[in-house]
Amino acid sequence: MAIGPEAPAAPQRIVDAVLFDTFGTVVDWKSGVADAVEAIAYRYGFEVDAAEFALRWRARYQLSLEPIRSGAREFLTLDELHRENLIATAEEMGLPIERIEAADVEWLNRAWHRLDGWPDSVPGLTELKRHFIIGPLSNGHLALLTNMAKHAGLPWDVIIGSDVTRCYKPDRDAYLGAARLLDLPPHRVMLCAAHNSDLAAARSAGLRTAFVARPQEYGTTQQSDLHPTEAWDVIARDIRDLATQLRDHITA
């Protein structure tokens, strides 16, 4: 027979790890890339719409991943794909990239390593880190994500690059591979993203889901992902709000 009052039940978390889509969800890629394009254009005396260049560079991103997802092309990191897409975008926009020194082309290509977080990202992640394993579940590779974390002060517990899982979202194995690496069943892992399609793929793989809106990701004319399109497990205003909702669930 037990002696004394019954011990209170331990607080229950709905997940053990909260992983994040990174480009657009955690960091502002458009501003960072446009700033780098503008700096190079100024240095070399080129005329270019830096914001439009950033948008067109990014627009080639998913198209360049598809041959790798389908198995038609061997795995390449985002640095390699970004460089190919940079050259193609420069040709499309009439930017004479052949006149730019190789070191400056490399610096421009690595703009994706030097992106700043949204204002709520670091405080929200810091709060989440108190209760959950946090890290990126991104198509970025380990070096890129590590450099980005150092630049932006992102307090990850773990970084799982696409070069570790050897696949790109929304491939099912990208989500399941992250869960396996953390030794967690998929339902104990949550993906937070500003992109409904990413969350749909994560849910189909068995992960929990959280939506945060980033209506300025593509600038003032953005028309997609302004609102959640499904009843995700959590719908939050930003990462700080996500931290509050998940913390309140623990303490309720």
What is the per-residue pLDDT for 2? 46
At residue 248, the pLDDT reads: 79
List, as one string, the DSSP characters of the chain: ---SSPPPPPP--S-SEEEE--BTTTB-HHHHHHHHHHHHHHHHT----HHHHHHHHHHTHHHHHHHHHHTSS----HHHHHHHHHHHHHHHHT--GGGS-HHHHHHHHGGGGSPPBPTTHHHHHHHHHTTSEEEEB-SS-HHHHHHHHHHHT---S--B-HHHHT--TTSHHHHHHHHHHTT--GGGEEEEES-HHHHHHHHHTT-EEEEE--TTTT-TT--SSSS-SS--SEEESSHHHHHHHHHHHHH-
Q: Which of 182, 184, 181, 178 is nearest to 198 (CA)?
A: 178
* Residue 252 confidence (pLDDT): 44
For residue 11, the model assigns a pLDDT of: 58
208: β partners: 190
- Report domain extents, the chain: 17-28+116-251, 30-113
pLDDT of residue 5: 52
Residue 151's pLDDT is 98
Instruction: Identify the bridge partners of residue 135 per DSSP, sorted by sequence position.
Output: 19
* The architecture CATH gives domain 30-113: Orthogonal Bundle (1.10)
Say which CATH architecture domain 17-28+116-251 belongs to. 3-Layer(aba) Sandwich (3.40)
The pLDDT score that the predictor gives to residue 249 is 75
| Separation in Å, CA 238 to CA 121, 125, 140, 232 | 8, 11, 22, 14
Reported pTM: 0.92
Length of the chain measured in residues: 252
The whole-angstrom separation of Cα 26 and Cα 75 is 25
What is the radius of gyration, based on Cα positions, of the chain? 20
Mean pLDDT by 10 residues, the chain (252 residues): 49 89 98 98 95 97 95 96 98 95 98 98 97 97 98 98 95 97 98 98 98 94 93 97 89 47
* Chain position carrying tokens 């830096």: 50
Tokens describing residue 192: 């937070």
How many CA atoms are closer than 13 Å to the CA of 157, on its beta-carbon side? 16
Nearest alpha-carbon partner for 65 in 166, 169, 161: 169
